[in-house]
Structure 1
Amino acid sequence: MLELKDYPQSQTVDWRTLAESIGQQCAKEELLADDSDCFVTKNFALLQESGLTRAGVPVEFGGGGASYREICDILRILGRHCSSTALALSMHTHQVMVNVWKWQHQNADVEGLLRRIATEQIMLLSTGGGDWLNGSGTATLTEGGFIINACKSFVSGVPTGDLLITSAVYEDPTAGKTVLHFALPMNTPGVSVEPVWQAMGMRGTGSHNVRLSNVFVPEQKIALRRPAGKWHPAFHLITAIAFPIIYSVYVGIAEAARKLVVQEATQRQNDSHICYLVGGLENELATAKLALQQMIVLSESNQLGLETSNQVMIGRTIVAKSVLNTMDLAMEIAGGRAFQRSFGLEKLFRDAQGVRYHPLREEAQRQLAGKLALGVSPNTF
């Protein structure tokens, strides 16, 4: 097995080859997880051993120093082989890359966290997609901090997680509903995991609920306060960094479906209808890949702001629709075989459906794009 340690410090790491090697090894374990609703535990051990969980951490902090584009490539390649592993890893990785960006561009004091990710192999968990602007749970003021009560859903990768990046809502007597953001070690008293994840697809992500019961968070651990339900500038960074990484996984799934059905369809290459369907699939997949590349370019530009967030979210909608259209065409091309689990397309089809549910969903995204085009300044997404 290729690992990060196989590359001397003086040698450039071939992240794509490394991801391909690990992805091939992860595929079998994910099939077992899909059948049993179990987390891909062995695959995450492989990711940690290989160095992929610390790939984006700067070299000077003990990481791999992979570029943002290389990180997206890693997730896309893993998505071709093991959807659940890739999606769960993307939830850790986008939080890593947000902190890398803060260190690079804001001189933020995140060196300690990045070193822990590299040397202790801690894993980050995120509840941002489920909380988004409104937040969830309650924060009650107490001496020295807050008492948090909440149930956080869709926490992908929680069986192996160490640090929960989350929030709760405080009824501020002056400012009104205020979302408090903080990081919480999973071994904090009052934090528990509720094993409820039984889903159509992405069954191996371990996206269970995390219950916070009377958890104390010190005042000094509150990293951000913002009005509930309203856009905050911090979301420009989250949008630009997180969504190209997450949606790289889904493009990888679509690429896997394309490879599977095109190989099968070569036996019917003289059928003009099949050629027509395959041509449509090629168009849809190309559209998804082009939109994803534009999202990555926007992130690499480091030009955070409302227009960049808008364009990234437009890309998110285009990728989602094109991935789903790719999967529909793949099912049509394969015909009855697609309905057989042994063929492999059925699982890819189910896993790809998750592309629908990350924010901003299409209606909200179109409202945002329309308001900006018409000169209306939105304060919510």
Structure 2
Amino acid sequence: MSDLLQRARRVGAEVAARHASAVDADARFPRESFAALKAEKLLGVMVPAEFGGAGASIPEILSLCHALGQHCASTAMIYAMHQIQVACIVRHGQQSPWHRQLLQRLAGEQLLLASATSEAGVGGDVRSSVCAVEVEGQRLKVSKNATVISYGADADGILVTARRTPDSPASDQVIVAVLKGDYRLEQTSSWDTLGMRGTCSNGYWLHAAGDVAQILPLPYADISAQTMLPTSHLTWSSLWLGIATDAVARARTFVRAEARKKPGSTPPGALRLAESMNLLQHMKSNVVAAARQYEAALGSAERLTALSFAVAMNNLKIGTSQMAVQVVNHALLICGISGYRNDSEFSVGRHLRDAHSAALMVSNDRILANTANLLLVLKDDPGLFP
């Protein structure tokens, strides 16, 4: 086990798990978990060693998301969303002096990054923007009516998507990295939801100003295809797998307890537990295969922007988001009323509520529609191995 994973598991078991119920009940930011993650230097682990980070690989990041997801899904989701932003800076900002300095700060100060991609007026399409970057000399400003900025009030910086100029089409977007002091937030909506309550995904008017050097050099379309989309689907799938893993662990403990009560007999839930383990194995295999596919494509813009790669990442998100709910529901049926109760050691109510967010946080229907369009032109691959 790597040192990074040991530290993440310690934070999960000793801190995140202890406060998960309160984070959920109060729909509050998991401040204890993130104080511990900062103390363990786990926020800047993806930053390359030359900038002071650990240079963690994608599989290592996924393992950390998976470990945290087994204790507090909101903590894991925030951690995943932060790492998505860090990945964008790591992969597309190293040619920029301003962003190289940001990488050093991410590692040294353990800054927490949020994202402002959603916007009122675009129908949920993050590949379109209404707001635009306005430049005067070397200074810029942007105002965005963001329908969601998860943990925006607790972040140290935000990556904002906007049209390149006021005259640019909606799809000609850039990312601007703004830090506290560069922006102010005016809350426009609250976050009182079924699950993932601790992500505090409120809506805000964001008003930011800064230097033109804070714009990432590559267009958002390229950053999204090469980094943001695959990293999102991989990290999210890993934490959803974490939710399902803990639910099955609770169900297994329940079945074993039932077996001890009647030695020599098979408890009623044992067969369903076996089925749950089968589904869990499928989920894990899908995540591992997709991670290896992404690692193999890194460094090749052609492979990262291939239609087949986009379809594979879309399918990962769709599949794991659906199976997470299925697995947790199996665990609920196995544990019965003990799983249904909130005051039981076998409770999976929070797991089920959090898992239902998976199909909605970037709608599966939107992703399926995108995949359907890609399949119209994608050539069939009849082979078993690529």
TM-score (norm 1): 0.83
CA distance in structure 2 between the aligned counterparts of 1:96 and 1:232, rounded to whole angstroms? 16
Q: Please list, as runs of the form range in 1=range in 2, the aligned pairs for 1:171-250 lying within 5 A after superposition.
A: 172-173=166-167, 175=169, 178-193=172-187, 196-213=190-207, 215-216=208-209, 219-223=212-216, 234-250=224-240
Q: 1:234 to 1:337 in 2, by over 3 A?
A: closer
Please say if residues 87 and 205 of structure 1, whose CA atoms lie closer than 8 Å, have aligned partners that are also in contact: yes
- For residue 74 of structure 1, the aligned residue among 53, 56, 64 is 64
With 151-160 and 246-255 compared, the bigger mean Cα shift is at 151-160
**Partner of residue 5, structure 1:** none
Q: Please list, as runs of the form range in 1=range in 2, the aligned pairs for 1:39-188 lying within 5 A after superposition.
A: 39-102=29-92, 110-128=99-117, 132-139=125-132, 141=134, 143-144=136-137, 147-169=141-163, 172-173=166-167, 175=169, 178-188=172-182
**Partner of residue 288, structure 2:** 293
Amino acid at match of 1:305: T
- Which one has a larger percent strand, Structure 1 or Structure 2? 1
Please say if residues 159 and 176 of structure 2, whose CA atoms lie closer than 8 Å, have aligned partners that are also in contact: yes
CA distance in structure 2 between the aligned counterparts of 1:175 and 1:132, rounded to whole angstroms? 14
- Compute the displacement of 1:112 (Å): 1.4
Partner SS, residue 304 of structure 2: coil
- Compute the displacement of 1:39 (Å): 1.0
CA distance in structure 2 between the aligned counterparts of 1:272 and 1:24, rounded to whole angstroms? 29
CA distance in structure 1 between the aligned counterparts of 2:11 and 2:348, rounded to whole angstroms? 21
Q: 1:345 to 1:102 in 2, by over 3 A?
A: same
Q: Which runs of 5+ in 2 are unaligned?
A: 260-264, 380-386
- Compute the displacement of 1:143 (Å): 4.0
CA distance in structure 1 between the aligned counterparts of 2:367 and 2:375, rounded to whole angstroms? 12
CA distance in structure 2 between the aligned counterparts of 1:99 and 1:226, rounded to whole angstroms? 13
Partner SS, residue 206 of structure 2: strand
**Partner of residue 312, structure 1:** 313
**Partner of residue 3, structure 1:** none
Please say if residues 38 and 203 of structure 1, whose CA atoms lie closer than 8 Å, have aligned partners that are also in contact: yes
**Partner of residue 363, structure 1:** 365
- Compute the displacement of 1:298 (Å): 1.8
Amino acid at match of 1:353: H
TM-score (norm 2): 0.82
After superposition, give the CA deviation of every residue in 1:340-380 in whole Å (9 maximum; x if it has no partner): 11123111111111211233x33343344444444269xxx
- Compute the displacement of 1:140 (Å): 7.1
- Compute the displacement of 1:251 (Å): 0.6
Amino acid at match of 2:152: V
Please say if residues 92 and 223 of structure 2, whose CA atoms lie closer than 8 Å, have aligned partners that are also in contact: no
With 344-353 and 253-262 compared, the bigger mean Cα shift is at 344-353
Q: 1:308 to 1:372 in 2, by over 3 A?
A: same
- Compute the displacement of 1:329 (Å): 0.9
After superposition, give the CA deviation of every residue in 1:231-251 in whole Å (9 maximum; x if it has no partner): 656423222222211221111
Q: 1:316 to 1:108 in 2, by over 3 A?
A: farther
With 140-149 and 306-315 compared, the bigger mean Cα shift is at 140-149
Q: Which runs of 5+ in 1 are unaligned?
A: 1-11
**Partner of residue 375, structure 1:** 377
After superposition, give the CA deviation of every residue in 1:327-347 in whole Å (9 maximum; x if it has no partner): 111111111222211123111
Q: Please list, as runs of the form range in 1=range in 2, the aligned pairs for 1:29-44 lying within 5 A after superposition.
A: 29-44=19-34
**Partner of residue 276, structure 2:** 281
Please say if residues 44 and 54 of structure 2, whose CA atoms lie closer than 8 Å, have aligned partners that are also in contact: yes
Q: How many residues align?
A: 359
Please say if residues 182 and 224 of structure 1, whose CA atoms lie closer than 8 Å, have aligned partners that are also in contact: no
